[in-house]
Amino acid sequence: MPTIDTAYHYYLSTYANQSTSRYDSHKKSELRNIYNDIVKINKDSPLYKIKRSEDVQKFAIDIKESTRLIKNVVASLSDAEEGIGNAFQKKIAFSSQEDVVTANYLGDNKASEELENFSIEVKQLASPQINQGAYLDKNRLNLKPGSYSFDLENSVAAYEFQFTVNSEDTNFSTQNKLAGLITNADIGLKASVIENADGLSALQVESLSTGINPNDVFLFSISPQGTHDSMAAIDALGIDHVAQEAQNAVFLLNGTEQMAYDNTFLLDNNFELTLHGVSPEGKPAVIGFKTNADAMTENIQTLVDSYNSVLQTANKYSISQPQSVKLYRDMSGTAFAYQKSLENIGLMVGDNGEIAIDDERLTETVSSDDFEQKLSVLNDFKNLLNMKANNASLDPMKYVEKVLVTYKNPGKTFVTPYITSIYSGMMMDEYC
C-alpha cells in the first residue's frame, strides 16, 4: 500500500501553516540551475532501495524544510548593498503594543530611509461569518430516516448538498457527517460539531475568510431545497441561523479611519501588519524601526536559530535514521570551521555544534566602531552554511537509511530521473 498519504499528511500538519517568503519564488534561470544540479547529482548516484521505516518521509521533509529556512534567511541577509554591516543591519520593524498589532518590514534598507514612524489604533478586528445550528440530544435522532438536500451559496457560486440519514444514525453522527461533507467540499468553509455544558451538540459552519464587501449581504447562506422534508431537516438542524456576521477590521492610521478585510494586510507594500486585539481607547500603537544595534542582534539570532534547527533535525532522527549523522557533520562543520572567530563576537559554539549567543559580548560587538571588521566572519559563515544547506536540499535522500544495490559504471553514467522522484513524489511503498 503506498505511503504517499502519510507523507502529505505530515507535511500539511507540520508545515502548511507556515508563511511563505518572497525568497521561495524563483526566476526561470534559477529553477533551470537547480534542475541542472539535480541532474548532475543524479548521474553519479548509485542505485539504492529505501529501507522500510515510518520516519523516512518525515526525516526527508524535515531536511527540506530546515534547509529551506536557512537558505531564505541567508537570502534575506544578502539583499543589502556593499558591506557586511549593511547585510546584518537589515531593517526590522517594531510595535509599541505587540499584543495589539505586530509589524514586519518587507522593503529594503534604502527605502526605509524615507519612511517615518506611524501610529495605528485598532477599533475592530476582522471576523468570519459563523452559522451555528441548534443544540440537540446527541443520542437521539430528530430527523426521520431518508434523503435530504440543501443549497449553500457564497459570493462566487451556489452549491447543492445531499445527505442521507439512516435509522441507526443519531443527531451526533448526522452532524458529524454534515461537518465532513461541508469541510471536504473545499469551498472556503469549515464545519465542526460543538457541545455545550449540558452535553448537547450543534453543527457550526464558519467561513475561512474574514471581512465582507460593503455590497454583499453575507459570505455564505444555507437554505433548504423546496421539499417539506428538507425544510423540516434544516429547521431541526438550525444551520441556516447566522450567529455571527462577518466584519471588517477597522483602525485609525495616523488618526484617519481605514478598513481591511483581513487582520493581516500590506501597508504601502512596505509593511505587513497583523492585528491581534483592540487598542485601549485613545492609545494607538507606534510602528517604527529598531535601532541598528538591535536589528543586527536580531538578524544574527535569526541566522543562528536556522542553523541550530537543522542540527536538531539531525539529532531528532539519530536513532531511527543512523545516516542522519552525515547531516549533522555536514552542517556542524560550518560552525566548527569558524569557531574561534565566532566566539570572539559572542557566538559560542558548543561541543554538539549548536550555537548559543552571549548577549553581552554580541551587544558589545555590534555597538563597537569597528563592528564591520569584527562581523566579517559572519559573511564567511553564512555563505558556507548556505552552500551546505543547498547541497542537502538538492538531495535529502542521501541522509536516510537505504540499501545500496550497485554503483554506476564510472565514465558511463546516465540520468535516472526516478531517483529524484523518490523524494519529490515520496514514491515509497511498503512492498518495495
> C-alpha angle 316/320/324, rounded to 5°?
60
Q: Are 273 and 287 in contact (CB under 8 A)?
A: yes
Q: Are 375 and 57 in contact (CB under 8 A)?
A: no
Cell, residue 346: 559572542
> What is the distance of C-alpha 210 from the center of its chain?
19
Phi, psi of 124 (to 5 degrees): -160, 135
Model pLDDT, residue 64: 87
Distance CA 285, CA 12 (A): 35
Distance CA 400, CA 86 (A): 39
Model pLDDT, residue 168: 94
Model pLDDT, residue 206: 95
Q: Please choose, from the candidates 301, 368, 420, 335, the residue with its C-alpha nearest in 3D space to the C-alpha of residue 60.
A: 420
Angular region, 128: left φ>0, alpha ψ -120 to 50, beta rest: beta
> C-alpha angle 129/141/189, rounded to 5°?
20
Q: Please choose, from the candidates 73, 14, 60, 131, the residue with its C-alpha nearest in 3D space to the C-alpha of residue 306.
A: 73
- Beta strands 189-195 and 118-124 are unpaired
Question: Tens of pLDDT along the chain (432 residues)?
Answer: 345 556 667 766 777 666 666 667 777 887 888 878 877 777 777 777 777 676 888 888 888 889 988 888 888 776 544 444 455 666 778 899 999 999 988 876 666 666 788 999 999 999 999 999 999 999 999 999 999 999 999 888 899 999 999 999 999 999 999 999 999 988 999 999 999 999 999 999 999 999 999 888 899 999 998 788 999 999 999 999 999 999 999 999 999 999 999 999 988 888 899 999 999 999 999 998 876 677 778 888 889 999 999 999 999 988 888 889 999 999 999 999 999 999 999 999 999 999 999 988 888 887 787 877 888 888 889 889 999 998 888 888 888 887 777 777 777 777 765 565 566 545 454 444
Q: Please choose, from the candidates 3, 16, 5, 58, the residue with its C-alpha nearest in 3D space to the C-alpha of residue 399.
A: 58
Cell, residue 213: 464587501
Biggest CA pair distance of the chain: 82
Q: Please choose, from the candidates 376, 380, 341, the residue with its C-alpha nearest in 3D space to the C-alpha of residue 361.
A: 341
Beta strands in 343-390 (DSSP E): 347-349, 355-357
Place of cell 541542472: 36
Model pLDDT, residue 161: 93
Distance CA 308, CA 119 (A): 36
